[in-house]
Structure 1
Amino acid sequence: MGKQHITIHDLAKILNLNASTVSRALNDHPKISAETKKMVQKLASEMNYQPNALASSLRKGSAHTVGLVLPRVNRNFFASAIEGIEAILNKAGYHLIITQSNENAEKEKECISSLISSRVDGIIISISWETKDLSHLIAAQNKKIPLIFFDRIPRDFEASKVMLNDYQGAYQATEYLINNGNRKIAFLAGPQHLQIYSERFRGYKTALEDYKFPVDPAYIIENCLTQEKGVEGAAQLLSLEKRPDAIFGSSDYSALGALVYCKENGLRIPEDISIFGFANEPFTKLIDPPLSSIEQFPYKMGEAAAQLFLNAVKDKSAKHQTIEMIPEIRVRQSVLNRKISNF
């Protein structure tokens, strides 16, 4: 027939039956004779007919699909989160539709609109750097679509969410730097309208205050998350008359940029300057020197987000839930450890 996808209507036309009879035969309906079932099933096999699972599920009122909106998929954190999400959803019979905003608020709105049009059963999302207007997320909720946030979540938005205790992770990193002799600790900050980055800044700031160190505005570089921004931030910091003796990045990528710039400009790491990141990306173990960081457990975060969706589907009247992940510090050779020899 020259068609790549054979439909029930194709089978019905060849057999001179109506489509509903063919559909019932394929589904072993008791009112269809054994002879007709055998004839339909034989032709379906010969023509390699594959049922349209999506269309079938939509007729039953559910597509058994979940939409996932990510800022970008080319980060190990989000790739690991996808694995965790799929591990839970696939066991429950759901399929995942993955979209990415590329850190663009308008693109994120398009992703949400497309997923709503596709009649997904739920949406799991980590919002973009740019996202401030939340009308597209409100629209999804108004359509009674379960909305689950993870990692990057908007402030004061009522929904189920999975979040890291970013405050604790940043506090631990800053405290570790202080306890190992660093006194002038700079911070490469992320967008403060996103809770994860404002919480990391709060952890850094509180640790300095608790240890009676000043929070110097000159040591705080705003909106500095990428490797390129890390390079620019380090250049700005090292141009100061009183340059820092440690740089703590809100992301591993900004910390990597700082590390590269410092090395290219003749500084020894960690002897001249310590560097700390956040996220524990795989490359942190491979660069020279290996980068100290904060583990976020993205696979577990993905599993938890998927489970929150299943909980919402099971009990539509249930209250929104919040799951908090506890970070862990990963100390490597980018921080001078004055307490332990040969570390």
Structure 2
Amino acid sequence: MRKPNLTINDIAKALNISKSTVSRALRDTHDINPKTKLRVLEFAAKHDYHPDILAQSLRSRSTKTIGVIVPAYNIPFYSTAIGGIQDYAMKMGYNVIVCHSNEQYEIEIKNVEALLNAGVEGIIISVARDTEKNEHIKKLKNKGIPLVLFNRVIEDFKSAKVVVNDYYGAKNMVDYLIKTGCKKIAHITGPNNLLLSNNRKEGYLDALKDGGIEINEELIVEGDFTIQSGIRCTEKLLEDNEGIDAVFAVCDAVAFGTMKVLKKRGIRIPQDISVAGFTNEPMAELVEPSLTTVKQPIYEVGETASKLLFAQLKDPDLPAELCVLETTLEIRESTK
């Protein structure tokens, strides 16, 4: 049977002092006798006293907690981004509750409700791949809950947002592929309801235009963000087209799927077909051949999202701010 938590009242009775004196000692205020404070602290430590956070939050109307919703735990991007969010939140004296939507809009709605019920003071969200409506996000805004969208954001929704420069990251990568001699470059996109997918696609298209390469819609296939999607889309591309000399994938996981198909078919990477991704997941350096990719400042994305949220907690009237972080190319063995 679990032993009940020691309370301030228990300490006060044991030491024959008032509850307010115990409270001041535990809060380390200046208006208390040092010897009395020492007695309280020693007694609290000896009996493993822990403050009742819930009771404190009810009195102060502050839970010192923020919520984070991500599409999935198993996407390396989010584990790193959560690290950036949490590290900054801890510096500010806050805890973090993390939920994941499993890439489902309906679960994302339930995540929002759960976090509101937990009394979080603000929420940071990266939306699921099938999130097209934003009523649940509007609900947060209407309630005055500080909100930041990051990575996967809703384009027409006014809120603080943190993204990377998806357009230029993609354009710079395709520019590079063209410079290496690639002329028939396929692109596996992400879901077309997501801003980052469209921005990366636009970067791809503009790079082709600038390189004097005619756009072929048959070389563009919509997928999602999984290895399975990369496998499926690459098989379709190879069946429907001849002479493809490069594949630019919306993310590294999709690129891994592409590489798996090419290897299975005996197609050499990069001698026959170059492969490039976007994100710079840890596995990108470990696969064979190592993957050329667009490197995102992932930790900084999370940290920036956290900073924007705490800025809103301090000043709820701050205007919605869009932070765009730059990317770099990580050239490895999968391209010429």
Asked if structure 2 preserves the Cα contact closer than 8 Å seen for 1:57 and 1:63, the reply is yes
* Deviation per residue, 1:189-241 (Å, 9 max, x gap): 10111101110011111111222222212111112421111111111111135
- Paired position in structure 2 for 1:8: 7
Equivalences for 1:208-287 in 2 at 5 Å?
A: 208-287=208-287
Query: Residues 97-155 of structure 1, C-alpha deviation per residue, up to 9 Å, x if partnerless?
Result: 11111111111111111111111111111111011121111111111110011111001
Measured in 1, the distance between the counterparts of 2:297 and 2:200 equals 16
Partner of 1:293: 293
Asked if 1 retains the 8 angstrom alpha-carbon contact of 2:9 and 2:19, the reply is no
CA contact (8 A) 2:12 2:19 kept: no
User: Against the structure 1 CA distance between its residues 114 and 24, is the aligned structure 2 distance closer, same or farther, given a 3 Å change threshold?
Assistant: farther
State the shift of 1:299 in Å. Answer: 0.5
Identity over aligned pairs, percent: 34
Q: Which runs of 5+ in 2 are unaligned?
A: none
1:199 and 2:196 equivalent?
no
Q: What amino acid maps onto 1:310 in structure 2?
A: F
- 1:116-131 to 2 correspondences below 5 Å: 116-131=116-131
Query: Structure 2 vs 1, CA of residues 10 and 22 (structure 1 numbering), >3 Å: closer, same or farther?
Result: closer
Residues 1:83 and 2:114 are matched in the alignment: no
SS at match of 1:69: strand
Which residue in 2 is equivalent to 1:25? 22
1:4 to partner: Cα distance: 3.3
Matched residue SS, 1:278: strand
For 2:279, what is the secondary structure of its paired residue? coil
Instruction: Indicate conservation of the 8 Å contact 1:6/1:47, yes or no.
Output: no
- Residue 241 to residue 309, structure 1, CA distance change in 2 (3 Å): closer
Query: Could you give the per-residue CA deviations for residues 52-97 of structure 1, whole angstroms, max 9, x where no partner exists?
Result: 1243133101111110111112222111111111221111111111
Quick one: which amino acid aligns to residue 281 of structure 2? Answer: E
SS in structure 2 of the partner of residue 212 of structure 1: coil
1:275 is paired with a residue whose SS is strand
Cα pair distance change 1:30/1:184, threshold 3 Å:
closer
SS at match of 1:221: strand
Does structure 2 conserve the Cα–Cα contact (< 8 Å) formed by 1:277 and 1:292?
Answer: yes
Aligned residue in 2 for 1:339: none
Q: Is the 8 A contact 2:223 2:230 kept in 1?
A: no
Q: Larger deviation: 36-45 or 63-72? A: 36-45
- Report how far residue 274 of structure 1 moved: 0.5
Deviations 1:152-190 (Å, cap 9, x if unpaired)? 100111101111110001101111111111111111110
Equivalent residues of 2:219, 2:241 under 8 A apart: no
> What is residue 101 of structure 2 aligned with on the other side?
101
Q: Matched residues in 1 for 2:312 and 2:100: separation?
A: 23
CA distance in 1: counterparts of 2:197 and 2:301, whole angstroms: 17
Work out whether residues 152 and 195 of structure 2, in 8 Å CA contact, stay in contact via their aligned partners in 1. Answer: yes
TM-score norm. by structure 2 comes to: 0.91
Contact 1:101–1:107 under 8 Å retained in 2: yes
- My pick for the range that moved more, 165-174 or 84-93, is 84-93
Q: Does 1:185 align with 2:185?
A: yes
Counting only pairs closer than 5 Å after superposition, residues 129-140 of structure 1 correspond to structure 2 as 129-140=129-140
Q: In the aligned structure 1, how far is the partner of 2:278 from the partner of 2:8?
A: 56
1:13, distance to aligned residue in structure 2 (A): 11
Distance between the aligned counterparts of 1:62 and 1:55, measured in 2? Answer: 10
Structure 2: which amino acid aligns with 1:178?
I
| Alpha-carbon distance between aligned partners in 1 of 2:20 and 2:262, rounded to the nearest angstrom | 68
Structure 1 residue 37: Cα displacement: 8.5
Alignment CA distance shift 1:60-1:38 (3 Å): same
CA RMSD of aligned residues (A): 2.6
Size of the alignment, in residue pairs? 333
CA distance in 1, matches of 2:95, 2:296: 25
Partner residue, 1:322: 322
